[in-house]
Amino acid sequence: MVEASGQADVIIVGGGIVGASTAFFLRGRGVKVILLERFLIGQQASGTNFGNVRRQGRYLRQLPLANRSRDIWGRIHELTGSNVEFMPVGHIRFLWKEEQLAVVEKYQRDAAEYGLELHILGKEAIRERFPFIGPEAVAGSWSPHDGHANPRLVAPAFAQAAMRNGATIIENCEVLSIEKSGEDFTVETPRGNYRAPVVVISSGAWGADHAAAMGEAVPLVVDGPQMGVTEPLPYFVHPVVGVSTQVPGEVAYLRQIPRGNIIFGGVRRRPAALDERRAKYDPAGLMEQLRQIQRLAPALRHARVIRTWSGVEGYLADDIPVMGDSDKIAGLFYAFGFCGHGFQIGPGVGDVMAELIATGTTTTPIDDFHIRRFKDPARWQRTAAH
């Protein structure tokens, strides 16, 4: 990708799905952007995630953003000019316990207000529609318009489309410091300094360090969800599959791609480190994952796992991201810490951030995500405990 040390309207720090789509949508609005990425575009959380384009079960007040994002997903191939393997095959969450029904029924009612269509399916209905499901499942919550995509392709697709539209994207270029002097920010990298009146921090799990350096500390934990993939099998699991449960050790998910491999994850996250280029998979957790995915699809017991991996993700104490402008410095914007949801909402986040930067306001509510909520440390402890 092209190399230049220079000046723009906006500098984006970090080229995951959030930074790359922000660059893409800013270019759509005619804004001059430079994106600086420490390694390669989409190599961190955005390229290693499970690939779930799921809205159901997410934080309710995030649904307007999630819906906006889902709309972009539906047009992503024409927007980016790349086939990122988005498949709106639906998302089914299975229940192991009758008691959980009340939880998903309430969520169904609440989500309906945000326009998310969900169907609660009983014991027979799930077996008829999803014959692969194991005997323990008692019901399911079906979201017909969710789906999945290939994470390895999405952020690069946005970046390439942004470049074709005139964005400057610089890989292997780590941002070392950001300083505001007068109207402009000076962004320091080993390849020289870049200047712009606006800076967006979209550095994923590293975002908290960058925000802290700007005087706005947030409580962020870095973790690595654990992922695996099987050898190719006949295509028999069409929707994305998950679990609705109160037991953390029962959280498991899987999806199959048409070429046959089943990608799975869940059960336990493992600590990840920011100073390592990639999060390591912990084989000690594999047996439990395999047990849980066999509850979902017992036929899998005859298949084989061929690879495992993990990725570096940032989780805020209240499990929702930091998005919006800085509380302290004019021209500084944040979009990081997507708490395991950022792949689905990523394209929407890029669109909203571009709108916010270009127009000063957003048509989609994002107030809940503003960094000012962490100003009072006593409050975050409360939210964290809840």
Partner 1 sequence: MADPRIVIVGAGPAGTRAAELLVAAGLRPVVIDESPRSGGQIYRRPPPNFTRSHEQLYGTEAGRARAIHATFDAFANKVDYRAETLAWAVKDDRVFVQKAMTVEQIPYDALLLAPGATDRLIPLEGWTRPGCYSLGAAQITLKAQGCAIGQEVVFVGTGPLLYLVAYQYMKAGIAPVAVLDTSSLAQQLRGLPLMVARPEQLIKGAQIVSALRQGGVRVLRGVRPLEVLGDDRSVTGMRFCDAAGHEQELRCTAVGMGYHLRAESQLADLAGCSFEFHPTVRQWLPVIDEMGRSSIRNVYLAGDGVRILGADGAEVAGRLAAIALLSDLGWPIDQAKVRSLQAEMRRHVRFASGIAKAFPWPHEQVAAIPDRTLICRCEAITAGELRASVKDLFSPEVNRAKAFSRVGMGRCQGRFCGPASQEVVAAANGAPIQSAGRIRGQAPVKPLPIGITEETSRG
Minimum separation from the CB atom of position 178 to partner 1 (A)? 26
Minimum separation from the CB atom of position 9 to ligand FAD (A)? 18
**Which residues fall within 8 angstroms of residue 241, CB to CB, at 6 or more apart?**
91, 92, 94, 130, 253, 254, 255, 296, 297
Query: Interface with partner 1 includes 168 (CB under 8 A)?
Result: no
Q: Are strands 322-325 and 332-336 parallel, antiparallel or unpaired?
A: antiparallel
239 interacts with, out of partner 1, ligand FAD, none, CB within 5 to 8 A per kind = none
Nearer to ligand FAD, 124 or 275 (CB): 275
Minimum separation from the CB atom of position 66 to partner 1 (A)? 26
Burial of 322 (0-12, 13-18, 19+ CB in 10 A): buried
Query: Interface with ligand FAD includes 46 (CB under 6 A)?
Result: yes
Query: Interface with partner 1 includes 282 (CB under 8 A)?
Result: yes
Instruction: Looking at residues 165 to 194 of the shown chain, list those that interact with ligand FAD (rule: CB under 6 A).
Output: 174-175
Query: Interface with partner 1 includes 138 (CB under 8 A)?
Result: no
Q: Name the residue among 117, 105, 23 with its Cα closest to residue 67.
A: 117
- DSSP 8-state symbol, 231: P
Which string of x and - marks every residue 33-72 that binds partner 1 (by CB under 8 A)?
Answer: -------x--x---x-------------------------
Q: Which residues on neighbouring strands pair with residue 244, listed in sequence order?
A: 95
Burial of 70 (0-12, 13-18, 19+ CB in 10 A): buried
* Helix, strand, or coil (residue 40): coil
Q: Total residues contacting ligand FAD (rule CB under 6 A)?
A: 40
**Secondary element (H or E) of residue 238:** none
Query: Interface with ligand FAD includes 38 (CB under 6 A)?
Result: yes
Query: Interface with partner 1 includes 306 (CB under 8 A)?
Result: yes
Answer for which of 8, 25, 43, 352 binds ligand FAD (CB under 6 A) is: 43
CA separation for the pair 208, 221 (Å, rounded) = 9
Answer for which of 290, 319, 327, 364 binds partner 1 (CB under 8 A) is: 290
Query: Interface with ligand FAD includes 230 (CB under 6 A)?
Result: no
Give the CA diameter of the chain.
66
For partner 1, the binding residues (CB under 8 A) are 1, 40, 43, 47, 152-153, 156, 160, 230-231, 280-284, 286-287, 290, 293-294, 300-309
